[in-house]
Structure 1
């Protein structure tokens, strides 16, 4: 299945990506708009997703609608005939497990970007919930640390502020995605290590148990 390939940055490129566009002066009302975080991936509030004209001007093709279940009556796909949607019902509290839900969202974004699409990720306010997903995506996309990923997103959408529970999971996700890279780059080593462990366990069995 197609996915968007990670981008490996040099140290200089990393600094430029994290710093973001220096010519943009953030204004309070910009929180009502969406911002492009990486090429083709936009982050913003639900308000942006309600304007068909604005979405079309932005070139949006796919939308990840992330909402608390209590918001389902208002935060919902508005234009299913115009865009491809993924809707995630997520509790906007510190106990919500985002890491379990993230792979599904990542795959959706990967496939959209690989197809040349443009993806808007939004929650209600675009402050805590949807930014947490985007920070994890950016972290893995650029293979960077969680701090660099958080600053990358913040330097494009200054108003983001994932809650404490989400921030803890963002930190945890760094080791998870790095472990995945390690396994993918050394699959034969993982298999041989697992086989050797099983053989050692078999050798430890008592004679009458064989």
Structure 2
């Protein structure tokens, strides 16, 4: 069983009197404005009162596989993949994590189809949020990973605002949580590793790690340039509103 991270010494938004009163529209506005900003060389705009976005940084991976050890080397092989959530067992006092601490990775088609890479970095589960054989999808399935002992789940989702991705939030959160709680490592992929995959990871952080939507998006964007489409962001804002009401963090 892994010990999961405490993301900040600051009080979470739920403990801020002002944030407990936020309407869903305020959360959505912040999510939309954050994802519209350039990623590299910038940090997100200041969050509303009570929230403390962390600086963004790119994380190295693959201590056991030097041929994939840097972001540039991975890109040369068509692998665009970053670890975005870590075990607190591997954090030091400066909030710097070690290479073996990654629990959740977000990646593109190249990462999902490179089973040699996945085994090298210790992936035990793959969640393909873009399963299919048409343009804009990733053609993998359980049989693709079975020889490598990797547990698989696939969702046939299109990256359009009209897609109802929220109907799968609990399902994908359970799958990711199974990997994390069993001491494994999960790759969540879509075509580019930006929209469908990140939406599912953010939903997991909200449902299983008790984060707000803003906290979850901020945490993921510390490590990777993710940009859920506007429809997905609206569904995350709706989930945020629902969870804060259920947890007694939203009045009215």
1:172 to 234, 238, 248: 238
Moved more, 137-146 or 39-48: 137-146
SS at match of 2:145: coil
Moved more, 166-175 or 68-77: 68-77
**Does the 8 Å contact 1:41/1:119 carry over to 2?**
yes
Residues 18 and 139 (structure 1), Cα distance of their counterparts in 2 relative to 1, 3 Å cut: farther
Which deviations, in whole Å up to 9, do the C-alpha atoms of 1:113-159 show, x marking residues without a partner? 1111110000111111111111222233442332222121122112x
Q: Distance in 2 between matches of 1:22 and 1:129?
A: 20
SS at match of 2:166: coil
* Aligned positions, number: 180
**Does the 8 Å contact 2:53/2:215 carry over to 1?**
no
Moved more, 14-23 or 73-82: 14-23
Is 2:201 the counterpart of 1:134? yes
Q: Distance in 2 between matches of 1:16 and 1:23?
A: 20
> TM-score, structure 2 length as denominator?
0.60
1:63 to 116, 126, 146: 126
Is 2:229 the counterpart of 1:163? yes
Which deviations, in whole Å up to 9, do the C-alpha atoms of 1:11-62 show, x marking residues without a partner? 4497888435478798794994211111211111111011121101110000
> TM-score, structure 1 length as denominator?
0.71
Partner of 1:34: 81
Note the residue ranges of structure 1 that are not aligned, 5 or more in a row.
Answer: 183-210
The structure where helix makes up a greater share of residues is: 1
Is 2:139 the counterpart of 1:75? yes
Q: Distance in 2 between matches of 1:148 and 1:156?
A: 13
Alignment of 1:1-210 (within 5 A): 9-12=7-10, 18-19=54-55, 21=57, 29=75, 32-39=79-86, 40-67=103-130, 69=132, 70-71=134-135, 74-77=138-141, 78-82=144-148, 83-158=150-225, 160-182=226-248
**Which of 1 and 2 has greater Rg?**
1
SS at match of 1:36: strand
Residues 144 and 19 (structure 1), Cα distance of their counterparts in 2 relative to 1, 3 Å cut: farther
**Does the 8 Å contact 1:7/1:142 carry over to 2?**
no
Residues 153 and 111 (structure 1), Cα distance of their counterparts in 2 relative to 1, 3 Å cut: same
